Amino acid sequence: MTAPRHTSQPRPDLAPDPSLGRAEMEALQHDIADAAVFDDEFRFDPEPLTNPLAASAATTTTGDAAANDETNNSLDDNHTPNPTVVGIDQSFLTNEAGDQDRALSAVVAMRSGEVVERVHAVTTLETPYIPGLLSFREGGAILAALESLAVEPDLFLFDGSGRIHFRQAGIATHIGVVRDVPSIGVAKSLLCGSLQGDTANLSAGTRVAIEADDSVDAPEGTLLGYAVQTRQYDSPNRYINPLYVSPGHRVGPETAADLALGLAGTYKLPEPVRLADSYATEAKGEGLD
């Protein structure tokens, strides 16, 4: 799992451009999917993120000083023991007429279970809502927020889709490829693909494969991701729906599901995404006009 890290945009040519026409956007998504890596290719140790006991052991071993050292937090050149996980969520601001006219991207960076940085950015909405093309509507705000992030991310978690997308290029894939950072999409609803089992009232920890069908530009049967049941009620009368988890870039589907489950904590959503969602609401209330 060796790959260079970047702090800017290694693929600016693939950045979301809202001035493109729909056909051009879809063509660009094909290029993004071609550039994406849907297998594990990262330099951090996933064990502390998927196993709380391992996380505690890592913190105890490295100590508080090492956990907060942003320039020397690796065991060797290819192994980061305390990865920085960045949760990303979106919200929108309205004008006096009540129309959405700006996107707000909220970013929360966590390390060893603690928040180390929060940033947000607001950009003008230049494209309408079109299913499957959300990264062109929201990507500008996301990239702007990430540019102001001081810590170096090891993993992005998006409230949105990755490979579970008509052209295998959801927002987690798009931004992950542009930044060349390992990324995962965590969606609350299934955009496309075919579930390979029943998802009603699953027990916590269960996952159900999602494969490509004729709605996806991929060979039929391609594993796109998983429906992951992170939490469940202890009651026969109500149940929690699963999350739809897919690799965005440089993470495989099995690892993506493991990480989403391990980072969920006591809530349904992985903690970095849950906190980004809360921060988006907070940022909207900070007097933004």
Place of tokens 């391992």: 54
Distance in angstroms (rounded) separating the CA atoms of residues 149 and 276: 14
- Identify the CA nearest to 24 among candidates 159, 154, 130: 130
Q: Which residue, among 132, 157, 107, 147, has the nearest Cα to 33 in the 3D structure?
A: 132
Closest by CA to 175, choosing from 201, 149, 202, 214, is 149
Residues 6+ apart with CB under 8 A from 250: 3, 37, 39, 40, 41, 42, 176, 180, 181, 182, 183
Q: How far is C-alpha 77 from the chain's CA centre?
A: 25
| Residue 159 counted as an annotated binding residue | yes
- Write out the DSSP string of 127-145: S---TT-HHHHHHHHHHHH
3 state DSSP class of 76: strand
Q: For residue 163, which phi and psi values (nearest 5 degrees)? A: -75, -20
191: its two tokens: 């955009």
Nearest to 85 by CA among 264, 278, 288: 264
89 marked among binding-site residues: yes
Kind plus residue range of the DSSP H or E element containing 26: helix 22-35
Task: Report yes or no: 138 and 105 within 8 Å, Cβ to Cβ.
Answer: yes
DSSP 8-state symbol, 215: T
Binding residues: 89, 159
Binding residues for Mg(2+): 89, 159
